[in-house]
Amino acid sequence: MVKLSTRGKIVKGDQQGWYVLVEVDEKTGGFYIYQFKNKNGKNNLGEAFDDWVETFNDVEGYFKESSWKINWE
């Protein structure tokens, strides 16, 4: 299950040990998938990156392709 606007820790799959946050892109209606190493979040200067996808189905596909198991906060 993917939660929006909720930080989660990747406990299995690609980027294990990192954190993920999915937010709606208000301008396009798409979704940003933020991944960051530091729990403090995507705005830190540490290791972080993001991807943009068009639909929520794309978000779910991204999670499946990454083989993620997430512990949501």
Domain membership of residue 65 (yes or no) is yes
Helix (H) or strand (E) holding 37: none
Write down the pLDDT at residue 47. 82
Domain membership of residue 25 (yes or no) is no
Domain membership of residue 2 (yes or no) is no
Domain membership of residue 1 (yes or no) is no
The parent domain of residue 68 ranges over 8-19+30-72
Write down the pLDDT at residue 45. 52
The total number of structural domains that make up the chain: 1
pLDDT along the chain (73 residues), means of 10: 95 95 96 88 71 97 97 95
Residues in contact with 29: Cβ distance below 8 Å, sequence separation at least 6, in sequence order: none
